Amino acid sequence: MNILLLGYGKMGKAIEQIALERGHHIAGKIDINNLSELEVLPAESVDVAIEFSAPEAAYANIKLCLEKGWPVVSGTTGWLDFKGEIEGLTSEKGGAFFYASNYSIGVNLFFRLNRTLARLMKNQPYAVSMKEIHHIHKVDAPSGTAITLAEGVRLENSEIQGWSLLPEQKENHVPILAERDGEVPGTHIVTYQSEVDTLEISHTAHSRQGFALGAVVAAEWLRGKQGVFGMDDLLGNTI
């Protein structure tokens, strides 16, 4: 496949390495320094775009790709207020859009474990909270992965109405503590605490390779499809 990389930071470079190892060709590498090249790329030169840019750039990048007829795999977080518009444009153009807050297979299994635990805890005397730790270059907080985890808890427990980023606290919301430390790829901890004990589940990434591999596999899977998709479609929608 001819893969266009939108965003060429550490994740973009990791995706490039894995894509080349899997026999793909890199049709272009677009970042803030060469945005003008995106508009002039011939439509036929790209089979799929993989977008890991920045929250402020994601919407425009994805919109342009869909208008050019390119399927898009996106992992950028912090822009999801506009996701509905992108899904509408995907339908209008007969295109393909794949979004995940995290492409790691392990994290997506963790999402399912989180929902199972939330279901078990629904009527138990435990208070739920979350902590996420990422590298100092991550600009959005909480992480998209933490938001997905909190949404999973909300879906399984009708008493939970949403999430709040500490130090702000809201009643019936999952409090999330976001820390930025060094070059940490990503750690997420879900805690249930009662007066007598504490129960925790956690996921710790050791590198960006798992995220990058998942994004390339999603791009391979997306080619030739139409519609809006996510990791449940790729892995099978069972919990």
19 is in an annotated binding site: no
135 is in an annotated binding site: yes
76 is in an annotated binding site: yes
90 is in an annotated binding site: no
Residue 150 near residue 162, CB atoms below 8 Å = yes
User: 131, 134, 188, 203: which is the annotated catalytic residue?
Assistant: 134
Is 138 catalytic? The answer is: yes
Helix (H/G/I), strand (E/B), else coil: 176: strand
User: 138, 173, 203, 206: which is the annotated catalytic residue?
Assistant: 138
94 is in an annotated binding site: no
Q: Is the peptide bond before 142 cis (omega within 30 degrees of 0)?
A: yes
The DSSP call for residue 44 is G
β-strands 127-134, 72-74 pairing = unpaired
204 is in an annotated binding site: no
Is 131 catalytic? The answer is: no
148 is in an annotated binding site: no
What does the chain come to in residues? 239
101 is in an annotated binding site: yes
**In 41-57, which positions are buried (b, 16+ CB within 10 angstroms) versus exposed (e)?**
beeeebbbbbbbbbbeb
Residue numbers in the known binding site for NADP(+) are 29
* Residues annotated as part of the active site: 134, 138
Instruction: Show binding-site residues.
Output: 29, 75-77, 100-103, 135, 144-145
Task: Enumerate the known binding-site residues for NAD(+).
Answer: 75-77, 100-103
